[in-house]
Amino acid sequence: SYALTQPPSVSVSPGQTASISCSGDDLSNKYVSWYQQKPGQSPVLVIYQDDKRPSGIPERFSGSNSGNTATLTISGTQALDEADYYCQAWDRRAVIFGGGTQLTVL
Amino acid sequence: EVHLVESGGGLVQPGGSLRLSCAASGFTFSTYWMTWVRQAPGKGLEWVANIKQDGSEENYVDSVKGRFTISRDNAKNSLYLQMNSLRAEDTAVYYCVRGGAGWAAAGTSRYYYYYMDVWGKGTTVTVSS
């Protein structure tokens, strides 16, 4: 079955750029979405169809997808961006989630 | 405002059954795919099942096939998850989620997309004796 792989954790300093990767076989042939989940809260969609931002999501969130890797980029990272981030794709009539990446802003 | 409110969670013994419900409001329920996603304590997100707008297509993760059934009542703006033969590993928070799906062009190709843009607060299911 198809699998998406994310690094367990990423650290970034406030104001810097955070990049979270998501890898899978021929991932560029699929559309990738990204979700942010803060402790005790429901996930929130931050990127869909590789690089589209839902209304209300700050412009500092962007996405890309090329080759076998999709990337969520957070520019000018703020303390409130500290959260778990999950990538997601669709494969053979199934929703696939990555294992999640804990973003620490320190 | 768009809302999804889950109910029906609780404590159940292994082998037991539970029916989750999700009440939708603020959007035209019958025009969206709907999804159940779960999250075990301290773990990541796991897709459970989804259902097409008219109920004509259902998809399930392998671990729940034959035990769980997703359904919907568009007249009542409601989504359901019937869970039978419950196991300890089904213990999780279950989220009701609105899906966005379709085909889109990328270069000279077309790819299917499925994303989840509205999430409920979840209902907790605990399977334990």
Q: Do B59 and A43 touch (CB under 8 A)?
A: no
pLDDT band at residue A40 using 50, 70 and 90 as cut-offs = very high
Asked if pLDDT for residue A43 goes beyond 90, the answer is yes
- pLDDT for B110 equals 85
Q: Which residue of B has its CA nearest to A102?
A: B44
Question: Are A42 and B122 in contact (CB < 8 Å)?
Answer: yes
- Per-position pLDDT tens, chain B of length 129: 999 999 999 999 999 999 999 999 999 999 999 999 999 999 999 999 999 999 999 999 999 999 999 999 999 999 999 999 999 999 999 999 999 988 888 778 888 899 999 999 999 999 999
| Interface list for chain A against chain B, based on CB atoms closer than 8 Å | 1, 29-31, 33, 35, 37, 42-45, 48-50, 54, 84, 86, 88, 90, 93-100
Please tell me the distance from the alpha carbon of residue B40 to that of residue B15, in angstroms, as a whole number: 18
d(C-alpha A74, C-alpha A16), whole Å: 8
Chain segment B77-94, per-residue pLDDT in tens:
999 999 999 999 999 999
User: What's the per-residue H, E or C state across chain B?
Assistant: CCEEEEECCEEECCCCCEEEEEEEECCCHHHCEEEEEEECCCCCEEEEEEECCCCCCEEECHHHCCCEEEEEEHHHCEEEEEECCCCHHHCEEEEEEEEEEEEEEECCEEEEEEEEEEECCCEEEEECC
- pLDDT at position B98 is 98
- Helices then strands (H, E): number in chain A? 0, 9
How close, in Å, is residue A35 to chain B by CA atoms? 9
